[in-house]
Amino acid sequence: MKKVIAIAAITSVTLFILLTLWEVTVNGMFEVPNLNADHFVAGAGGLSIRVRFWLGLASVVSLLTWLPFRFKLKPTLLKIGAAVLVIVIFAWSALGLERFSRNYSEDQFSAIVNRFSSGELVGTDQVRQKLGEPLVSAKQDILVKARPHEEAWLYSYMPSCGYGWQKRVIYFDSQGKMTDYLCMDEP
């Protein structure tokens, strides 16, 4: 029984680490922000995050189940440390990869939204001055199909391997005047 639990622990931890490394690099750090992301409408967090969650849970449970077979301080601390590390790695890989544009500030975004909401005309130059360049801007994308003559500026992006997304988008008309905004925090 001890051997089966040890194999299960080592296998689940190894699979968790390999899948997480793949997701964080290929679908995380190297994923280019875009407005056509399928997960913009659906929300970040697909099958991969569920698989990583269950592998992480299996890793933690098997590591902690392996503890009582033979108590020695160093192996016990290593198993507990590995279990804690799996939890930390999962949390970081799921929540810590969200990107914002270089000069983005939530306070400045709120100030622009407040100015727009109070009826003031806000232009692209004012937005650039306060928030800098967006991560992505596009005229035809999944966000503005209902608004074919508008441009959307995306200031935040969560890769498809992550969970949750603080969506920050500003819309402009063809004259460069702000027409709308999207400020939505997921999950």
pLDDT of residue 177 exceeding 60? yes
How many whole angstroms separate alpha carbon 132 and alpha carbon 181? 16
Decide: 171 and 181 in contact? Cβ < 8 Å.
Answer: yes
Average pLDDT over residues 80-101: 88
Predicted local confidence at residue 11, as pLDDT:
92
Q: 46: Cβ–Cβ under 8 A, 6 or more apart, which residues?
A: 39, 160
| Identity of residue 21 | L
State the greatest distance between any 2 C-alpha atoms of the chain, in Å, as a whole number: 73
Q: 149: Cβ–Cβ under 8 A, 6 or more apart, which residues?
A: 173, 174
- Between 167 and 21, name the one with better pLDDT: 21
pLDDT band at 87 (very low <50, low <70, confident <90, very high): very high
Q: What percent of the chain has pLDDT above 70? A: 89
How many whole angstroms separate alpha carbon 64 and alpha carbon 59? 9
- CATH fit for domain 100-186, picks 2.20.28, 3.30.1450, 3.40.50, 1.10.3470: 3.30.1450
- How crowded is residue 3: how many other Cβ atoms within 10 Å of its Cβ? 8
pLDDT band at 160 (very low <50, low <70, confident <90, very high): confident
**pTM of the predicted structure, to 2 decimals:** 0.73
